[in-house]
Amino acid sequence: MSDHRKRGRAKAQAAAKSRHDSMKQLRKDWSLKDSDEYAAELVSTFGSPVQAPVDVNESPRLRMESASTEGERTQEKSRWLGYTALAVAVLSMFMFPTLFGSAAIVLGGISYMKGMRALGVWSVILGLISLAGYFLLLPLYS
């Protein structure tokens, strides 16, 4: 073997040993096990880049699926709250305007804050109309 190849092989072995030592140091610093996965690269001053650890127990896809499922559940609960507020607001037009109108305003406000903006706004408006109509017509009938 030529002298050039020997030096190249010695450099490659030194780089591999450096990588191995830096991996040992990372495991020691972060108390890693040999079974941990690595995703991000860390740049060291000597040798080639080393990867940072990633938790293999929970995949990002599962986290996204669970987050989207929770978001859909929250959206569905908000939707039913909005429809309930709208039903109470319409009901307040025909009976117990002070009770149902006030309830429609409160439920509509909560629905608006939860994300069902249109249903919340309509419920609040109808509840206010019902209350205003009641208080304007009350003196005429008493």
What is the rounded CA–CA span in Å between residue 14 and residue 91? 81
Asked if the model's pLDDT at residue 16 lies above 90, the reply is: no
54: CB partners within 8 A, 6+ apart: 36, 37, 38, 39, 40
| Confidence label for 56 from pLDDT (cuts 50, 70 and 90) | low
pLDDT at residue 93, as a whole number: 94
CA distance 119 to 78: 10
**Beta partners for residue 38, in sequence order:** 53
Q: Which of 60, 126, 54, 63 is nearest to 93 (CA)?
A: 126
What mean pLDDT is predicted for residues 37-58? Answer: 58
Give the per-residue pLDDT at 75. Answer: 73
pLDDT of residue 142: 75
pTM attached to this predicted model: 0.50
Query: CB neighbours (10 Å) of residue 135?
Result: 12
Structure-block tokens of residue 139: 């003196």
What's the confidence (pLDDT) of residue 136? Answer: 93
Residue 98 has pLDDT above 80, yes or no: yes
Residue 42 pLDDT exceeds 60: no
Q: Per-residue pLDDT averaged across 59-74, rounded?
A: 65
Q: Taking 70 as the threshold, does the pLDDT of residue 35 lie above it?
A: no
Quickly state the pLDDT bin for 4 (edges 50, 70, 90). low
Residue 81 near residue 111 (C-beta atoms within 8 A): yes
- Assign 45 to helix, strand or coil: coil
Using DSSP's 3-state secondary structure scheme, residue 59 falls into coil
